[in-house]
Amino acid sequence: MKDAFAQRPRLIGFTLVELLVVLVILAILAAMLLPSLSRARAAAQRTACLQKLRQWGLALTLYHQDQDDHFPREAVGTSSRLNNWAQVSDPTAADVWYNALPRVLSLRAAADYVHERAGFYSRDSLFHCAAARFPESPETLGNVLFSLAMNSKLRSGAAPVRASAIQRPSQTVVFLENRLPPEPKVDPAQADSDLGQPSSYASRFVARHRNRGNLVFTDGHVESLRGDQVVETTPGSPNKGKAILPQTRIVWTPDPAANPN
């Protein structure tokens, strides 16, 4: 009887105290490993985003080689507006970057997703960074949201510029990570309207990879830069939340002496 009572506190070979000790050790190990796993996941997402931007850069190079040195249009209508699904899928939008460039690579254009919108917002989609944070159920919205966008300042009047007009190809942005409504700003003065539009520049740049964001430049190379290397954050600056002037490290316009703001 005494022996049976002595065995009662044991649970499948362990005492309750021993089980609690094991659980505490596991919790400590999990707490130690989670930050490392989070950093590894973030690094993988940043690398995947860089690879997608490299594809956009390659497609752009092939496009302007076949199109008499011209760039595709950056959007339907004015460059500072969202495009809806009707505009994206209209045949007249065939020369906009989100339709023209994927077809250069024999991939699906944005217009091809008009009846499969959930696929457009897939993490594997060429149009999006895997780390992007979308509003709830973006596929139900009338407007199309882009977490990667074309530089909206590459224009000559109403028309896209020629590649040969870019004076500093290695410093001039062609594609950038584009802020969506749920995502934090680099600077509080950045724009709040039309987030997710197909073309943007510093005012809507997002540093979604641990305070860094990815950009592809006209010469085809890709960089991951801190938010304050791309967006003016100096207190009191008239350009706060926009492009840094003078344009030296990062250039948005064909002529670096021009004011993109």
At residue 82, the 3 state secondary structure works out as: coil
Place 258 in a pLDDT band, splitting at 50, 70 and 90.
very high
What percent of the chain has a predicted confidence (pLDDT) above 90? Answer: 73
The model's pLDDT over 44-56, given as tens digits with 9 standing for 90+, comes to 777 788 889 999 9
pLDDT of residue 11: 45
Whether 220 has a pLDDT exceeding 50, the answer reads yes
pLDDT of residue 23: 75
pLDDT of residue 139: 96
CA-closest candidate to residue 67, choices 166, 160, 172: 160
- Contact (CB, 8 A) for 64 and 162: yes
Does 15 map to a domain?
Answer: no
Q: Determine the Cα angle at 63 with ends 123 and 54, to 5°.
A: 40
Into how many domains does the chain fold? Answer: 1
Does 241 map to a domain?
Answer: no
Does 116 map to a domain?
Answer: yes
Q: CB under 8 Å to 185, separation ≥6 — which residues?
A: 179, 206, 241
Place 160 in a pLDDT band, splitting at 50, 70 and 90.
confident
Does 17 map to a domain?
Answer: no
Q: Domain containing 138: what range?
A: 44-230
The model's pLDDT over 78-118, given as tens digits with 9 standing for 90+, comes to 766 899 999 999 999 999 999 999 999 999 999 999 999 99
Q: How many CB atoms lie within 10 A of CB 114?
A: 15
